Chain A
């Protein structure tokens, strides 16, 4: 009888399935994304995904005009303007083929000169086996194997850096290399191989090859073998783990048979050069996070090398400035070396960085504070970023950064004492 009654009750209550706990209006009635077609299942068909970003920024530099070998306003301007278009198109064909292209166009006005350039950042064809376990790629790509934030040392195909730090508004730092690669997945394991046309700026070589073994679980790790033409084998390893619900840990290590540094820094001679990064991120219950990283870098200049090079550069620059050079070729070379150090990252041995990131607020504001310290000479870079998304497409970022340290210290070499940049970005 009870069963009958309960079933009867169920049959006679068509609304029982639709309770109205705390409901008022239907928030999905005017869903603005209704017209966005999602292709979750794309088997036996083709689909395309595009990402186009229009970006512009204005940067004001507070230049160091009295630096020992800094040409100051001779080369650098107190304002920089950029307008760029970053377009990416990814297409899937017949469930097994994929093409991906990314083109970057930019107009850069650096005050003393302006340039317009276009670059193919990525362009490749990919084939996947039906079971997705095997992937073959041919074309330009930039694989990244690092878990790090500030110090991505495990990207053993040399990371392209045009500044001593990552510039978020410079996609040229994501330009890939021409290569053929393959990847095979088996359970938690992945095996990959890369044959790359070398663009290494430290070693004169035509090709590089990488073999990588990856494992994914609570403790994830990877082992990397890197061979560059004419050099002994180099090695790398990464490890990352989730320590608690709110703390992640990662470490990376590399050992190169050659030195990734300017030739003029040649006092330190070793059979191999190692790097090590230890890092951790803590995320609070309220959403903000704090990341700290320690970086040890044997490629970097030790105290003796650093003092020798910077002193020579400063003295040569001064002689040239006073038109008192007796050996202009050497003085220009030394000055150039000094200038080159300005545009290199990781030129010393020990670093520490931290980054604070607030959670994106409901109003789409976000604050980021980051700092990089060269522990060898006490110089540092501090950066404050305020981000705001105004709508689904338009975002802006106000960035202020300051370089502190003595004139001949790593971050003290920066052409600017500080700079402020306002960036606007429209994503289609």
Chain B
């Protein structure tokens, strides 16, 4: 009997130790490290300046404006005292979405893509994009060999029309039309609609402290089962995201390198998509000229593509 009590006490003691260690670890990770990093931010800034490419005057101005914008956004996020210890993952996800869209308001933008193979520049194209909710219309504007090609995307459904014919064909999301860039990369994915986010703690990313968010697909219609987002711990702007296919394989990595303000709204300006399976294979994307527009849903009908 005594032996049984002794063993039970030992097990209980071990469990208590584990719980205590976990709690201490959590406190360390979620409170002490962020506080320490924030306190050390001048040092982080110094490192940033060393590593970051020299900015043009225009970009510096843009980024100073952006700082104010981010500060406002950050105030909103930080005002929730809970965020100091554990950020609201869903709120951060909505913030990420806001960098590619206008929450229900239709809009237009231009996009330039440059693909690289073996680190050498390969192809370029330029697109004009119109977006309304989960529907988008992409028109190739350059180069001449692709000019006039139109792609309509409505949720997962896609249709294409080639110049020189009035035929409109249904295509599948698997059809790659822009090198490493998927259709979602072009038109913007509504992450908060399709994914559930959870906060996974802090990590160091290229000597920067980053918030790590794990996104799990809400349904099986998403191209990726899981997405890991790394956000700058100070600005909450995305630094990198890793996209995992349904097989669990890392399918793609996105590096978010520049943000720019368009009519007072901060938007993603430049992004680099890397194919982790092929070294030196990546696509640069430059988003520009974001404009809110009242677009009519009639232009997002496949029967209007040939008109």
Residue ranges of A at the interface with B (Cβ–Cβ < 8 Å): 2-3, 5-23, 26-28, 31-33, 36, 38-41, 49, 51, 53, 86, 88, 126, 131-133, 135, 137, 141-144, 146-147, 149, 152, 171, 174, 183, 185, 187-188, 190, 192, 214, 216-218, 220, 240, 242, 244-248, 250, 281, 283-285, 287, 289, 359, 362-364, 389, 392-393, 395, 427-428
Contacts and interface: CB of A to CB of B under 8 A. Distances in A.
B170 A132 contact: no
B176 interface: yes
Nearest to B293: A41
Given A39-B128, A216-B302, A393-B143, 20 more contacts: A8-B41, A13-B44, A13-B234, A22-B274, A28-B284, A38-B110, A38-B289, A40-B291, A41-B291, A88-B163, A131-B298, A132-B304, A185-B303, A192-B303, A214-B302, A216-B301, A218-B155, A289-B175, A362-B179, A395-B145
Contact of A23 (B112, B174, B255): B255
Contact of B112 (A33, A39, A49, A171): A33
Nearest to B289: A40
A246 B126 CA distance: 25
Contacts of A185: 297-298, 301, 303-304
B140 to A, nearest CB: 11
A7, A8, A132, A133: residue with the most chain B Cβ atoms closer than 10 Å: A132
A131 B147 contact: no
Cβ-closest 9 pairs across A and B: A9-B41, A392-B143, A246-B174, A185-B298, A21-B255, A283-B174, A132-B298, A132-B296, A362-B117
Given A11-B71, A144-B306, A185-B298, A174 B179 contact: no
Nearest to A240: B170
Given A10-B234, A21-B257, A216-B154, A147 B307 contact: no
Given A33-B142, A33-B143, A40-B108, A23 B53 contact: yes
B289 A51 contact: no
In this complex, the interface size class of chain B, counting residues with CB under 8 Å from chain A, is 35 or more
A14, A51, A188: residue with the most chain B Cβ atoms closer than 10 Å: A14
B301 A27 contact: no
A14 B234 CA distance: 11
A2, A11, A13: residue with the most chain B Cβ atoms closer than 10 Å: A13
